[in-house]
């Protein structure tokens, strides 16, 4: 018999197959990311003219917008939001609207077209986190922005339009609904118990030891008890911290390494599936919440969200998170 499990953070219920989870090799129908080649790739060294001028770059040699870099950040050529302009809020009867003001940037994770974040060395993994952190700190100075979203789409099935390894950052003038739901629930939990719900969840996962994927001194990676998707994983700081941009220097490399390791385990166990990962963090510029706890959610694209899920709000997960830990824990 399957189980219904309730998420203590959002209150959402999930249906989990606990009796006979789908084996890793049974997801053979998933559309795998394919590297067709680097020719004409706008993110490869030597093609810097094909992107908007870089915002920042971590480079060994050379001038701006030239080869020699190992991390490069550029504006998105087709941005969802524009940096220039005023918000100009307006009400139209029951409707509200504001101008599409924000920032939309691309973090090119590596100069190597064929080396994914799952396979980079420790130094490159660290540099990716430094790029996320640097851009988050810089953009929060713009008082128009209330939230900074860092995410990665890997593979066409996960929404990636270019195959060169890259992540994205969008600075928003509003706090996303998904984030507000987590903040509201964590705030209510804190008011009732005077403790962070994420810290309590982390303590229980560390005590249960059933869903651990990997860990280091500063971070813990696990398959959540109430996983929405097969092989969903979370990476969370062991020390309470509400805001990703408050990451300390000694935590940067450990975060890059555990993120790389988690993605590598997915690649090995599931034959390189498409995935999304998202950094969930506190809002900014007067909307900060100290009772929140930032974390990274990794979601492989192994199943389709269909009518039942859209109609009910329930997710059906065919793989118990306890099985995920067993299948991934020993992979190096």
| Residues tagged active-site | 166
Query: Among 309, 259, 306, 16, which Cα is nearest to 152's?
Result: 259
Q: How would you label 135-144 residue by residue, b for 16+ Cβ within 10 Å and e otherwise?
A: bbebbbebeb
- Residue carrying structure tokens 């804190």: 190
At 70 the three-state DSSP class reads strand
Instruction: Give one DSSP letter per residue of 181-214, joined into a string.
Output: HHHHHHHHHHHHHSS-HHHHHHHHHHHH-SSEEE
User: For residue 249, how far is the Cα from the chain centroid?
Assistant: 20
- Residue carrying structure tokens 């995920």: 324
- What does the alpha-carbon distance between residue 238 and residue 234 come to, in Å, rounded to a whole number? 12
The answer to whether residues 154 and 276 touch, using CB atoms and an 8 Å cutoff, is yes
The answer to whether residues 125 and 107 touch, using CB atoms and an 8 Å cutoff, is no
Both tokens assigned to 79: 């941005």
Integer Rg of the chain from CA: 20
The answer to whether residues 263 and 155 touch, using CB atoms and an 8 Å cutoff, is no
Helix, strand, coil shares of the chain as percentages rounded to 5?
A: 30, 25, 50
End-to-end CA, the chain: 33
């Amino acid at each position: 018999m399957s189980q219904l499990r309730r998420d203590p953070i959002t209150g959402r219920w999930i249906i989990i197959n606990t009796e006979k989870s789908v084996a890793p090799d049974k997801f053979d129908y998933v559309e795998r990311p394919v590297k067709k080649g680097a020719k004409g790739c706008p993110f490869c060294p030597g093609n810097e003219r094909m992107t908007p001028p870089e915002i920042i770059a971590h480079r060994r040699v050379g001038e701006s917008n030239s080869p020699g870099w190992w991390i490069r950040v550029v504006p998105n050529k087709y941005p969802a939001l524009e940096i220039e302009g005023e918000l100009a809020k307006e009400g139209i009867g029951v409707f509200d609207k504001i101008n599409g003001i924000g920032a939309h940037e691309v973090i090119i994770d590596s100069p190597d077209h064929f080396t994914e974040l799952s396979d980079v060395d420790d130094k490159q993994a660290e540099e990716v986190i430094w790029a996320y952190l640097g851009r988050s700190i810089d953009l929060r100075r713009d008082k128009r922005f209330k939230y900074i979203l860092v995410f990665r789409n890997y593979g066409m099935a996960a929404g990636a339009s270019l195959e060169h390894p890259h992540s994205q950052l969008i600075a928003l003038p509003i706090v996303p609904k998904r984030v507000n739901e987590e903040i509201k629930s964590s705030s209510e939990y804190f008011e009732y118990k005077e403790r962070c719900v994420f810290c309590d969840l982390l303590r229980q996962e560390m005590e249960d030891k059933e869903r651990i994927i990997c860990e280091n001194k500063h971070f813990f990676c696990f398959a959540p008890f109430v996983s929405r998707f097969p092989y969903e994983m979370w990476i969370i700081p062991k020390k309470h911290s509400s805001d990703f941009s408050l990451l300390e220097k000694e935590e940067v490399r450990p975060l890059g390494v555990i993120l790389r390791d988690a993605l590598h385990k997915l690649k090995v166990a599931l034959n390189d599936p498409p995935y999304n990962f998202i950094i969930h963090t506190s809002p900014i510029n007067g909307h900060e919440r100290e009772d929140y706890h930032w974390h990274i959610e990794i979601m492989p694209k192994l199943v389709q969200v269909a009518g039942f899920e859209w109609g009910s709000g329930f997710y059906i997960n065919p793989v118990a998170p306890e099985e995920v830990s067993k299948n991934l824990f020993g992979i190096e």
